[in-house]
Chain A
Amino acid sequence: MSALERLRAELTGGEMRKPLRALAASGQLGYGIPDAALAAGLKREPHFIGCDMGSVDPGPYYLGSGQLATSDAITRADLTKVLRGARSINVPLLLGTAGTAGAKPHLDTTLQMVRDIARAEGLHFRLASIRADMPRDVLKAAVRAKRVRALGAIAPLSEVEIDGAAHIVGQMGIEAFQRALEAGADVVIAGRACDTAVFAAIPAALGYPLGPAMHMAKIIECSSICTTPGGRDALLGTLEGDSFTVDSMNPVRHATPMSVAAHSLYEQGDPYRVHEPEGTLHTDSANYEAVDEHRCRISGARWEPARQFTVKIEGSTRVGERAVLLAGCGDPRAIAAMPEILTNVEKTVRELVAGLVSGPFKIFPKVYGIDGVTHWPTAAPTPPREVFVMVEVIAATMADAKSVATVFKQYLLHNGFPGRISTGGNLAFPFTPPEVLAGTAYRFSAYHVFEVDALAPLFPLQIEEL
């Protein structure tokens, strides 16, 4: 009997659905899973364990480069905890957005870790992996058919951008996870996935109402972030037909109606609607009530099935090599003149390196203390005593980026300006070399949604026995 069949036999009978317990072990696997709460969660005998392992938040570098944002050692340790935990109680383990960004290299790295851990721990199970790399020809056909729409402030997707991207992934929904479970998977490791799909796939496959199931998935996917005080401890969601209860596995973190309702705001452009490939979750009709001081019951969310399947895509494209100049300044006159000084130095640098670099380059200076964090429309009433200057250089090659950064450094250090008294130099270097060669730089070239007629062909499934 497969893992899903066991759950079906245990939880369902005719129209009846017994309470289903979902353990959210981690909202960001690879940053350390607190042991006590995970152990407490396993004692509650969850029917499955879910983990989210990635996000678009860390920026385009990870998707573009194929690198993980998390360290090798901590990622392996976290994977070991959840694999060991799920196998110890013989329930499915579902993991979404493998390796930070969920493209091929991220999924391959994660799968190899899972195989290594299974071998080392003597664990045996059926492993399903689901790829999320979007076929370029399919995307180009969608562009030509005008079936692609930008999500927010980004240029329309073009065939040139599709060809130029290092990686383009699509977010899979519950369909892909269900296909893996129907194929008998004990452990599902997915490429880029909707975080809700990790937690809603099993309830949906077992016939629980999709409104509460999807809402529970949305609330629990970040583990105990929805509690007060918020944290990263494992969180248990119990789905009871029309409502669900959330319960942090750390007794000091309380899920209150306010803390859970507030979580609907978190990183969401729309607090009342969540769009998924297969439909839309509406939470405007949701009710939040305290069960006791520690737990909250939620009911009333509605699920509206989509008339047209859509897949959200993310693409990342290399823009060049990055060198960064880091220096401080504590001279009030230099600080006051800094915008002008930076403009002059850039002009000088462009003249000096012309013909000596292989291609065009860009310089982005920022003065922390003035406008490093926020592009303020007006100046601060009093100037800061010290500022930090960070000059980002993006060039075609690292040799070019280094040339620009080093010349910039020297001319910024010694640039004269009216009223200068600190003639020893304008900058304080915390260390040398003050220019850091930061590697390849990327940008998001796709953040769009496209209409598809069938989801399954986009997210191929592979099964292996460990």
Chain B
Amino acid sequence: MKLMDIARVIRSKNAGPTTLTLDLMFNDETGYVQAQGSPALQSGAIALLYGLEPRQVEVIPYPPACAIKIVMDRKVVAGTPGDRDVYGAQQHGPLLEIEL
């Protein structure tokens, strides 16, 4: 099953200019639990998708909103020449292909 088929929200944004945060939100606990347990959403697997070291990625479950937060280092500090996405709002692409 694709993550994209069960998530209500898959979004990315800067949390400050050095950090990217990706939020996955689910309609209910079933979807949340399903995603939360998947090896495809562990920090090592996410790091591989984004070309980062596992230590640069943190996955934080957030049950109050049936959500999972992924936090990672930005490769370029936001807005430095050569950056691709100053706000970090379009870095969710690699997550759309995840098979849970």
Contact = CB atoms under 8 A, between A and B. Distances in A.
A444 B14 CA distance: 14
Contacts of A271: 60, 62, 67, 69
Contacts of A394: 81
Contacts of A154: 17-18, 77
Contacts of B42: none
Contacts of B56: 153
A259 B14 CA distance: 20
Nearest to B87: A57
B21 interface: yes
B2 interface: no
A56 B87 CA distance: 9
A128 B51 CA distance: 48
B74 A153 contact: yes
Interface in B63-86: 64-67, 69, 71, 73-75, 77-82, 84-86
Contacts of A375: 51, 75, 84
A265 B16 contact: no
A268 B70 CA distance: 10
Interface string A295-326: 00000000000000000000000011010000
Contacts of B66: 258
Given A153-B19, A154-B18, A372 B74 contact: no
Interface residues of B, number: 41
Contacts of A392: 81-82
B4 to A, nearest CB: 16
Interface residues of A, number: 44
Nearest to A58: B86
A426 B66 CA distance: 49
Contact of A152 (B69, B73, B94): B73
Nearest to B83: A59
- SS class of chain A's interface: helix, strand, loop or mixed? loop
A175 to B, nearest CB: 22
A157 B30 CA distance: 45
B92 to A, nearest CB: 9
A322 B65 CA distance: 42
A113 interface: no
Contacts of A320: 81
Interface in A404-452: 441-444, 447
A436 to B, nearest CB: 15
B65 A377 contact: no
A373 B81 contact: no
Contacts of A364: 81-82
Interface in B1-57: 9, 13-19, 21, 23, 25, 48-51, 56
A261 B9 CA distance: 14
A67 B33 CA distance: 46
A377 B45 CA distance: 13
A59 B73 contact: no
A18 to B, nearest CB: 29
B21 to A, nearest CB: 6
Nearest to A263: B65
A374 B91 contact: yes
A269 B91 contact: no
B16 A286 contact: no
User: Which among B62, B71, B81 has the highest number of chain A CB atoms within 10 Å?
Assistant: B81
A369 to B, nearest CB: 13
A61 interface: yes
Nearest to A269: B15
A271 to B, nearest CB: 5
Interface string A261-300: 1101111111110000000000000101000000000000
Contact of A444 (B9, B48, B77): B77
A366 interface: yes
A59 B16 CA distance: 10
Nearest to A260: B65
Given A152-B18, A269-B15, A269-B16, A59 B78 contact: yes
Contacts of B75: 153, 375
A264 B25 CA distance: 12
Given A262-B25, A271-B62, A286-B64, A319 B16 contact: no
Nearest to B73: A153
A262 B73 CA distance: 22
Interface of B: 9, 13-19, 21, 23, 25, 48-51, 56, 60, 62, 64-67, 69, 71, 73-75, 77-82, 84-87, 90-91, 93-94
Given A151-B18, A270-B71, 17 more contacts: A59-B79, A60-B80, A153-B73, A153-B77, A154-B17, A258-B66, A264-B65, A265-B23, A265-B69, A269-B16, A270-B60, A364-B81, A376-B94, A377-B48, A377-B50, A377-B51, A444-B77
17 contacts: A59-B79, A60-B17, A152-B73, A153-B73, A258-B66, A262-B65, A265-B23, A265-B62, A265-B65, A271-B67, A319-B81, A366-B84, A374-B85, A376-B94, A377-B49, A377-B94, A444-B78
Across the A-B interface, the 3 shortest Cβ-Cβ residue pairs = A152-B18, A59-B79, A153-B73
